[in-house]
Amino acid sequence: MAEARQTVIVSIRAEDLPGMEHEVGRGLRKEITPAGMLGVANNTGTIELMISGRAAVRLRILEDQVGHAVILVDDMLQRKTIGKVDIELYDLVPPRRDAQPKKDRRFGGDLTSG
């Protein structure tokens, strides 16, 4: 069982119903990858804001090139990324936990041989 801090819940809130949130998906921090976030929006981590049936803004939850969980904001009308929110930097999600390397990998060789 994962720690509660490792669980990431993605939800949306519309101001027409105060206090009402709709959960889009949930997953663990390790499920946020460069390809997207598993468990959210059909395992892509992509949410679009539609205006009159056309996508206006796309939010993509993924892991960037330095390994931080981020939300990329895309202007779909101009087809370009207009911003990035580092949700890991602001402590909205925990840092990725990786297993500790084995001692022989850390120190460059087999420690049992003399």
Q: Which of the listed ranges 10-24, 38-52, 66-80, 82-96 does the model predict with the highest average pLDDT?
A: 66-80
Report in angstroms the alpha-carbon separations of 79 from 4, 58, 70. 36, 10, 19
> Amino acid letter at 81?
T
Average pLDDT estimate for 80-109: 75
pTM of the model: 0.76
Average pLDDT estimate for 27-32: 91
With a pLDDT cut of 70, the percent of the chain lying above it is 81
